[in-house]
Structure 1
């Protein structure tokens, strides 16, 4: 039998007389329901359902299909999802709602094993629907083709484990197209191909399939004792090797529960399995609040650069847009933060998102986009200028002052005033719509919203970085209050007050003992982002501030909110 690549094989059946339970149910005798949901995409959970597709299979053959559009009950389909799936708001307006569709689907899938690609997403939607409409959960057994593919297909065989990639790799008859039934059909074919692979490793029954454990789980469970002395409550935990070198740093509101999870079957990340295998000790830094834990995690990762933290491996991923320092400046994407006078936008979490923002700005403003020197004797208007894609000298503006005047709105945008940007964007979207280039308009709106969100985070972070001291509190579900004290954009102290009446006295005590922070103290940008997100988060109450904690109405935060509402169709 071949070595199984990504799972520990089930224990072999004991010798001697076998009973039915020992033999198990052959996979060819099991009925599977392969399902897929399409949603509005309006929130982190995916939004409300717009389409259900399912294929019932037995012995590798299809014996039934289920498909229906679903009215998303008050939500609208985002423009991005409309482009992705082809499902529009008009298509689902007259469709039945989930409360009508759900009983029919549950009857279709009754007594079967559910299958989905990235099952936690689809099964999570189905569970929530059952809860919302008072249907008991049928205790479906579940198979996730994404997990199976990640474990069965060795590294290098496929570039990723997306459904479209795997369908192309195995040559399925149905191509995934982000429609529920087509994706369910493709997932069903993928399941058959994965079963063929599993058979080569001696996995032929449902019981064997469901009992597969992530590789190395047995070894990890022998280290469960490392979590014994980890306290409950918020804080930062660190896995150390035998030489007490830090391997990995994490944070949690409940460190004990979180650390224990690394030694269970629920932890399937390959690099975490490798890390836990090497770990010999877990040490912790208890914190008074979750906000403090988040900040301390960032600081420790920045200081220690543990090898199993992705952020410490690629700190250069952040990208900024800057104005080039020349008579006819253009936009350039750079990996290091530019000086304030040349900063145009950022930081972006990826180079790709920075380039998308650059493209939006170049569509709205007559920027020079080529790298030619207009003072060179060889200068000629570039090809891009023929389609109005390069401004400045290539379009006949030879005077540097005139060029600077033409992009003054972009300079205002870089300084935090979005009035001119918003006006130009609205005109651009109107123009594209009049030309019936609706997809281009949707793309431009999506890219603008993402860019403004980046700018809004940076705007809020810059604001707290300029204020000597801010004290704020946030209520917790158990009735206590988290209190945070920030000085010059850096966390100086945090504490928890048991009840609301103790918040002010606790804040005064914190002020007397908080860490001293000098202006311009070097602080990680991520710490600024964490603290500003906490300050502007739901429920946070300002106790005191040495300067107004207010964002301008023409700033990025307000512009982002307005455009976000427009994109959702509010």
Structure 2
């Protein structure tokens, strides 16, 4: 790398003038996100000081609003009558937010309610970057300037155009003016990016300042980065769609992870690997971590071993296994499992479902032989093809536990059944992909391609990454696919049953292959995933509902 160069703030993240921010405020029935509910959502979307849009809705809390809350906010039971429930309102709000960063005054309060409601409604939500104007105001406005940092006090101090009145949209509008005043104060001090602003109430460490030059020449491309010590040993590995932006955040106050801050004093250089696509980068990251085992990366990434539940060949019953093996001898396995601690409960569950209650406990000390061939065939079918026998058994037990008021036991059994379904589905996907000698597929590219748009081609051999390339639009992909077919030939020699030893890599590829717009370009052998519905959690709910109707299976 070149001589040490002082980084400009523009190099360190998203410029504030380009950052889209959604300033949000909630009104609620109380202060406990686990017990109370949202009654109103107000939000303002801004970029570069310009208001792009506003969002406001009442929310039916589906419970009476306490009198003191109604007197404080003016929101009564009549106000929310006919309003959408949080199950309808929250997706609308999240659509309004999109990819923007969130801003709130005392953000912990608002984000705790949004997170709790998203979880309760089973709405997938990856929390975006968050700015807290309360924390920032405490840095910017000292007590000799303002008596406190309440929103009403700050709004009056900065001359906000709207006075907060404990109504969501009014408070959000006032927070916008407070935010702009904070930015005006921090701008001359160098806070010109979203990352700078988010970390303005923190301080960088001496090691971060001392090592900042290491990121000077990192390119803005997808790839993998490695922090190396003086001897060239790998300390930490990561990946990003934009290496420059990601790596340089390690040297700002936004970086607070202890493992990273402890690693930086030992780092002497940064090695980057440019990759054609983020998929290639993700696979390379996994392979480097598995090979080098960097001390500062997450622990436990050992793809060479896993936890499986195996039905052996012949008369051999169910037992734990650390390695996946070929199933051509009539054996079967599901997994990898989340933990070795679920192996015994899963074995008992499947054995009970086929042999009857108590059989799993009698066999808990060892796999034991299966006396009747029919039992083995039923277990194998439940592991590979059809979970209905197990789900009917679980549904009957759940109904008995619920009727007896044993709700904790019912929840534990439901979790175990879902673990079984997830393990069977996971194995089915890995099994199908591992069986394909070569698969080359294409999907619309999310990366920059010559001409502005195009296709991303991915080559997979027996579930292992073989190669990738980008193809411009209106270009015949077949020549590129044939070229990819000549790469990665050695990957076939490393193939293993159910992608043993590289299942994390295979799952990255499976997520890509299951994305929208994917088309098969070339293949050797047939790639066909088992029907998704066979091992889906909603089928347990369906079987349980049948027990309530008195119709059984």
TM-score (norm 2): 0.58
CA distance in 1, matches of 2:321, 2:399: 32
Residue 423 to residue 228, structure 1, CA distance change in 2 (3 Å): same
Secondary structure, aligned partner of 2:217: coil
CA distance in 2, matches of 1:435, 1:297: 50
Q: Give the 5 Å matches for 1:206-217.
A: 213=202, 217=205
1:392 CA displacement:
6.9
CA contact (8 A) 1:474 1:481 kept: yes
Out of 457, 460, 469, the residue aligned to residue 495 of structure 1 is 469
1:421 CA displacement:
3.1
Cα RMSD after superposing both structures: 4.9
Out of 239, 248, 266, the residue aligned to residue 251 of structure 1 is 239
Secondary structure, aligned partner of 2:33: strand
1:299 aligns with 2:294: no
Q: Which residue of 2 aligns with 1:206?
A: none
Residue 221 to residue 37, structure 1, CA distance change in 2 (3 Å): farther
Q: Structure 2: which 5+ residue stretches go unaligned?
A: 1-29, 37-57, 64-71, 94-103, 119-129, 137-198, 546-553
Secondary structure, aligned partner of 1:213: coil
CA contact (8 A) 2:311 2:380 kept: no
1:362 CA displacement:
4.6
Q: Give the 5 Å matches for 1:214-229.
A: 217-229=205-217
CA distance in 2, matches of 1:221, 1:525: 39
CA distance in 2, matches of 1:527, 1:65: 52
CA contact (8 A) 1:241 1:279 kept: yes
Out of 33, 37, 43, the residue aligned to residue 33 of structure 2 is 37
Q: Which residue of 2 aligns with 1:27?
A: none
Residue 313 to residue 552, structure 1, CA distance change in 2 (3 Å): closer
Out of 524, 536, 540, the residue aligned to residue 560 of structure 1 is 536
Out of 532, 535, 542, the residue aligned to residue 520 of structure 2 is 542
Secondary structure, aligned partner of 1:470: strand
Q: Which residue of 2 aligns with 1:421?
A: 390
CA distance in 2, matches of 1:467, 1:558: 21
1:114 aligns with 2:106: yes
Out of 323, 327, 340, the residue aligned to residue 351 of structure 1 is 340
1:469 aligns with 2:438: yes
Secondary structure, aligned partner of 1:306: coil
CA distance in 2, matches of 1:240, 1:567: 54
Q: Give the 5 Å matches for 1:87-106.
A: none
Q: Give the 5 Å matches for 1:332-343.
A: 332-337=319-324, 340=327, 343=332
Provide, for residues 365-403 of structure 1, a one-character-per-residue CA deviation record: whole Å limited to 9, x for no partner.
3379xxxxxxxxxxxxxxxx5xx7635799xxx99523x
Q: Which residue of 2 aligns with 1:364?
A: 353
1:319 CA displacement:
1.9
CA contact (8 A) 1:366 1:392 kept: no
CA contact (8 A) 1:473 1:540 kept: yes
TM-score (norm 1): 0.56
CA contact (8 A) 1:322 1:338 kept: no
CA distance in 2, matches of 1:286, 1:568: 51
> Paired residues, what number?
392
CA distance in 2, matches of 1:472, 1:50: 46
1:521 CA displacement:
3.2
Q: Structure 1: which 5+ residue stretches go unaligned?
A: 1-33, 41-47, 54-63, 77-92, 102-111, 128-137, 145-209, 369-384
1:284 aligns with 2:272: yes
Secondary structure, aligned partner of 2:440: strand
CA distance in 2, matches of 1:37, 1:342: 48
1:272 CA displacement:
0.8
1:242 aligns with 2:230: yes
1:275 aligns with 2:249: no
CA contact (8 A) 1:236 1:251 kept: yes
1:237 CA displacement:
0.9
CA distance in 1, matches of 2:473, 2:261: 41
CA contact (8 A) 1:237 1:250 kept: yes
